[in-house]
Amino acid sequence: MKICITTSGKDLDAQVDTVFGRARYFLLVDSDTLEAEAIENVPGAHGAGVQAAQAMADRAVGIVLTGNVGPNAFQGLTAAGIQVHIGAKGTARDTLAAYKAGTLQTAGDPTSQGHGGGQR
């Protein structure tokens, strides 16, 4: 399973970026091997949440771990069958551990209003 963690740096020791659509990086982690690949996020002026959700679907991500997720992104991720867990903090490694321990919250609704996306 491919897990995406929104981060402000390029590896598992980077701090989590708590927004989804306008996160600095998407750290794609293989849940079996813990191999991590960072993708720089270059959001456009409009619809960053949708753009980010599309990027997740295109890369066959199964789970997103982030701080907050806006309504447009949430709708897209849900339609793609991607699980969204929120309330991530600390490093990407901490977040992965928290997810495995089941302490992250499952997003049932968008968690930030945003200008069409997640806000800081």
Partner 1 sequence: MRIAVASGKGGTGKTTVAVNLALSLSAEESIQFLDCDVEEPNAHLFFNPNFDAVLSVDKLLPQIDPDKCTRCGACVEACEFNALAIMGDNVIVYDSLCHGCGRCGLVCPTDAISEIPHQLGIVESGTTRGFAFAQGLLNVGETMATPIIHALKRKIDPSKLSILDAPPGTGCPMIAALHEANVALMVTEPTPFGLHDLKAAVEVARTLDVPTAVVINRAGIGNDQVERYCNEENIPIVLTIPFDRAIAESYAIGTPLVDAIPSWRKQFIKLAERLREVAR
Q: Which of residues 75-104 bind partner 1 (CB under 8 A)?
A: 75-77, 79-81
Place of tokens 């980077």: 14
Specify the residue, 53 or 92, whose C-beta has the smaller distance to partner 1: 53
Residue type at 79 in one-letter notation: A
From residue 30 to residue 69, the character string flagging contacts with partner 1 as x (rule: CB under 8 A) and all else as - is: --------------x-xxx-xx-xx--x------------
CA gap 110, 101 in Å, rounded: 23
CA gap 96, 12 in Å, rounded: 9
CA gap 32, 49 in Å, rounded: 28
- Residues contributing to the site for partner 1 (CB under 8 A): 44, 46-48, 50-51, 53-54, 57, 72, 75-77, 79-81, 116
